[in-house]
Amino acid sequence: MRVVSLFSGIGGLELGFHSKGYSPLLFCEIDPIAQTILKNRFANADHHSDIKELKSIPECEVITAGFPCQDLSQAGGKVGINGHRSGLVHHLFSLLSKLRKKNRPEWLVIENVPYMLRLDQGKAMSVLTSQIASLGYRWAYRVVDARSFGIPQRRHRVLLVASKSEDPGGVLFADNYDEPELDGKPSEIDEAAVYGFYWTEGSRGVGWAKEGVPPIKCGSTLGIASPPAVWIPSQDYVGTIAIEDAERLQGFPEGWTNFLDYGVTAKPSLRWRLVGNAVSTAISTWVSERLIAPGQPQVDYRPLSNRSSWPNAAYGDANGQWQVMSTRWASSNRQQKISDFLNMPLSPLSARATQGFLKRARGCTNVVYSPRFLESLEKHTETMSG
């Protein structure tokens, strides 16, 4: 099947599809560094920079759209679906509306952050599903955790799939597994395990992940990276992951974002923004396989009642809308341990950064930290101070 990619980023959706034999026809991405990566990684496709200037799309079977999340994320401005950045998704529907129904692609695959289901009582999902339905599509969406595919990065994302003539429930709900309890709490420590956390936080949350890392962040707009930290209790050591392992945690080959290879002059730390904004290729590979061979939904459907937000999964067609009782686990794979996954050595967290975290953590009233964790970080600080 042929794919048109909008809001392409570095090609997370499309790389997963391409690995299963799909043909990428067109990419539309405004970030100039991401553009350069796409042009070198997918040289045979057409490339456009601004969706506002894209007048039409070629005939295809699939449109992918990981549209901007900044206005919909918990860490962003929370402006909503009509914000300056997230509102660009309206151009997708404008392009589709210009096509006759018979010429519209069979499949739409849209990705974004789960917070959109709660912000403004889920207005973003209301807008997306109503627009999709008005164009003649059935739709289904589901929150999925990338860890269900074995990757040690806790990353929850909303996958929305729509089809003109097929059942999107056969794509998203044919694989449904019990969700394991993996992380525990920062107050509960297993000395034999390794833990990931956000060293830049501490006062409100920490992103705690046992044998994994919390979602990889973009870093600041100035290119200041904030990679997640990994704590090794047995060594009283804290270090941050390398960008090459961050790429692999998103499912990309090591070096995928090394734009210096293509003659781009920019801060190497900007690679964190590219990786943090990307779609996990594990998720897109799963979806691409199910588009080829939909299965039988393994879930219960219940009428979607009055709500203050959208549920974690739902389905809609001409007959109504239903809440879908699915988990965030779309695979039976066992999560690999982060200690076994990493190829690159950890970079030791500086004494200053560690002390900053400790100060915030000790003043925190929202999270209970294990004394062992705090004492271990103190020892790491002493080691780093020499």
pLDDT of 75? 72
pLDDT of 204? 81
Mean pLDDT in consecutive groups of 10 residues from the start of the chain, 386 residues: 97 96 97 97 96 96 93 77 89 95 96 94 94 97 97 97 97 97 92 96 90 88 80 97 98 96 92 96 97 96 88 96 97 94 97 96 91 97 93
What are the backbone dihedrals phi and psi of residue 144, each rounded to the nearest 5 degrees, phi first?
Answer: -125, 140
pLDDT of 39? 97
Rounded to two decimals, the pTM is 0.95
User: Can you give the three-state secondary structure of the chain, one letter per residue?
Assistant: CEEEEECCCCCHHHHHHHCCCCEEEEEECCCHHHHHHHHHHCCCCEEECCHHHCCCCCCCCEEEECCCCCCCCCCCCCCCCCCCCHHHHHHHHHHHHCCCHHHCCCEEEEEECHHHHCHHHHHHHHHHHHHHHHCCCEEEEEEEEHHHHCCCECCEEEEEEEECCCCCHHHHCCCCCCCCCCCCCCCCCCCCCCEEECCCCCCCCCCCEECCECCCCCCCCCCCCCCCEEEEHHHCEEEECCHHHHHHHCCCCCCCCCHHHHCCCCCHHHHHHHHHCCCCHHHHHHHHHHHHCCCCCCCCEEECCCCCCCCCEEEEECCEEEEECCCCCCCCCCCCCHHHHCCCCCEECCHHHHHHHHHHHHCCCCCCCCHHHHHHHHHHHHHHHC
Please indicate whether residue 69 is annotated as part of the active site.
yes
Write the pLDDT tens digit of every residue in 245-284: 999 999 999 999 999 999 999 999 999 999 999 999 999 9
pLDDT of 251? 97
Residues 6+ apart with CB under 8 A from 343: 244, 245, 248, 254
pLDDT of 308? 86
* CA distances from residue 62 to 57, 123, 230 in whole angstroms, order as listed: 11, 25, 38
Are the CB atoms for 297 and 285 separated by under 8 Å?
A: no
* CA distances from residue 349 to 247, 361, 365, 380 in whole angstroms, order as listed: 20, 16, 24, 9
Write the pLDDT tens digit of every residue in 178-227: 999 999 999 999 999 999 999 999 888 899 999 999 999 987 555 678 89
Domains of the chain with bracketed CATH: 2-179+278-324 (3.40.50.150), 195-252+259-273+335-385 (no CATH)
Considering 28, 69, 218, 364, which one is annotated as catalytic?
Answer: 69
- In the chain the first and final C-alpha atoms are separated, in Å, by 59
**CA–CA dist 147, 126 (Å, integer):** 28
Residue (of 284, 320, 289, 290) closest to 305 by Cα position: 320
Q: How many other C-beta atoms can be found within 10 angstroms of the C-beta atom of residue 303? A: 8
Are the CB atoms for 324 and 311 separated by under 8 Å?
A: yes
